[in-house]
Structure 1
Amino acid sequence: MSASEAAPRTGSGAWRDLIAPGLSALLALAVLLGLGVWQLARKGEKEALIARIVSRSTAPPVAPPADWNPARDEFEHVRVTGRFLNDRETLVHGLAAGETPGRALQGYYVITPFERADGGLVLVNRGFVPTELKVQADRRDGLVDGGTTVVGLLRASEARTMFVPAPDPARGEWFNRDVPGISAARGLTDAAPYLIEADAVPGQTTWPRGGQLRVDLPNNHLQYAFTWFGIALCLLGVFSVFAWKRLHEPEPAGGA
């Protein structure tokens, strides 16, 4: 019988040839489906987190908690009374939304110790100043002297990622809102382990300007889930074509 007339490989040998690639494909399929299911679970968790943050941040302000628990208390809307220690403010490099959509302003966040009337200190992120107003003397009209009340959101210390430069406390160079680091550099031994992100003041024309925190957490987990499920579907398609060709390719000639 000629090669063109050879019968397809439908015997047990052909099926045995599919065992190893079939197991590999099955393992990869299980991993891909698992990643897709995990992303769906993360989607639910992220939606719950966003709802919790929005609920906390828009609630009437309350006193800060006596025992700080980031998982429970972060983004709580709080109110404190006392006075700013303006001579010990710290500037942290940052960006803020500009008046032109899509264009960011370069500048600093002004972190100022706040001496509470009921005792203790807490760092307050008073808001953003553009680079040209870095020097405090150039924004004297924005300083708050004497007793005042601050309303804002509780935030945990901002972790420094691998892409963020290390701080240089000696030169006053900070790139993340490092609560314990800034407190130590400023000699604040009894500062709270969190900071308060000050709310925006309606109609404010002076600097710094609060309300820079945007509760806008990305939630792309559904898209990621569809991606993993799509790759799994492609894997099924590719393996099906591979298996069909392997089972229907002609048996090798046995000799002349």
Structure 2
Amino acid sequence: MPTLRVNGVDIAYDESGRGGPLLLLHAGVADRRMWDDVLPAFAARFRVVRFDQRGYGETPLPDGPFVYGADAAELLRLLGIERAHVVGVSMGGHVALDLALARPELVDRLVVVATGIGGWEFGPAMKAGWADEEAAIERGDFDEAAWINVRMWLDGPSRGPDEVDPALRRRVFEMQRRALDYENPAAEGGWLIPERHLKLGQIASPTLVAVGELDQPDFVRIARHVAEAIPGSRLQVLPGVAHLPPMEAPQDFASLVVEFLTG
């Protein structure tokens, strides 16, 4: 497992393929392994860089403040990459938007999938899910906390567990369970642009906004809001998937992204 010392932390990452640089930013319910099924298609066209953000996969979460986008920018610098396409899912989409606003010179084309944004008022269902997760963590039941996340994000609001590939559910559980082992109240993640949601109209990169039709309704609404706010962006609603399209429909997702990045 290669690592690079990035802003004081050993960041786990890997590279594959040749071509223009492509940076992949994983979801908060996953780690860099969420890209496994789309990596061959991407690596056939691009130099692909993926990494575990702090507190995920093989990257630790030490005490103290940090900035997600600053880690991504510094990783690119250390790898000698001056500009890259950036694809982010969920939390990774949030980081990608932050990077596009604060460091536009680094971002060529931008793809955000099921992205979060700051300043959004979530509905009762999302708040209840997060409260259940927090309660499980407080009583030390990290397994249940991880399964709550699987149900929220992979199953989504309209599918039961028996309607989702059990192997896929297990993969997401294992990634989230590992992240929960890093829980550290003394670590505090922050952003390059604190009020990103008010500045989306400043993003100049060609942008694809995608969301699964079976995702949480709040995230479908966020996707529409982001697409409306970013000038010239394209909105794509993905059929038959929820919050993690690269894992749920890898062939369709890879084709969509490659077409956008090379078109």
TM-score if structure 1 supplies the norm length?
0.19
Where relative contact order (Cα < 8 A, 6+ residues apart) is larger, the structure is 1
TM-score w.r.t. the length of structure 2 is 0.18
* Bigger radius of gyration: 1
